Amino acid sequence: MQETAARIASYERHQSQHGFSKWIIIDRSCSRPIGDAGLMSFPEYGWIDFGYRLAQPYWGKGLATEVASAWVQTAFGELALDRLTAIVHPENCASLRVLQKLGFVKQRRDVFRGMECVVFNLTPDAA
């Protein structure tokens, strides 16, 4: 509970500072939180990170694609961002497919905050 409260407080600070952050994903049928998704600024890396996380019972139901598509539209529409970056563990095949389906382009393999990852970018003209 303390970790969740700290994460939400961090998202609220980020939202106030940047006008966007990660938002909680709610299961409409029962009004229960099932994950989060959104955008985070990483100025030390020079990018806006797009990311999402869903509780395992909600994997494979198309929710990641639905929420990712909405955030891409918001990023390039309402927020007028010029590029999104997404990182994913190289063995997370489902997330790799979601990013590729949305037009993200693989840039390189890297290590981000201690995690091996694949770095993807998306620009408005490719979205």
The count of domains in the chain is 1
How confident is the prediction along the chain (127 residues), in pLDDT tens digits per residue?
888 888 889 899 999 999 999 999 999 899 999 999 999 999 988 899 999 999 999 999 999 999 999 999 999 999 999 999 999 999 999 999 999 999 999 999 999 889 899 999 999 988 7
Strand partners, 36: 24, 53
For residue 17, give the amino acid letter: Q
Give the tokens for residue 53: 């996380």
Q: Is residue 127 part of a domain?
A: no
**Spatial CA neighbour of 99 closest among 60, 69, 58, 57:** 69
Domain that holds residue 67: 2-122
CATH number at residue 112: 3.40.630.30
Distances (CA, A) of 123 to 46, 81, 83, 86, 101: 14, 8, 5, 12, 14
What pLDDT score was predicted for residue 73?
96
> Model pTM?
0.87
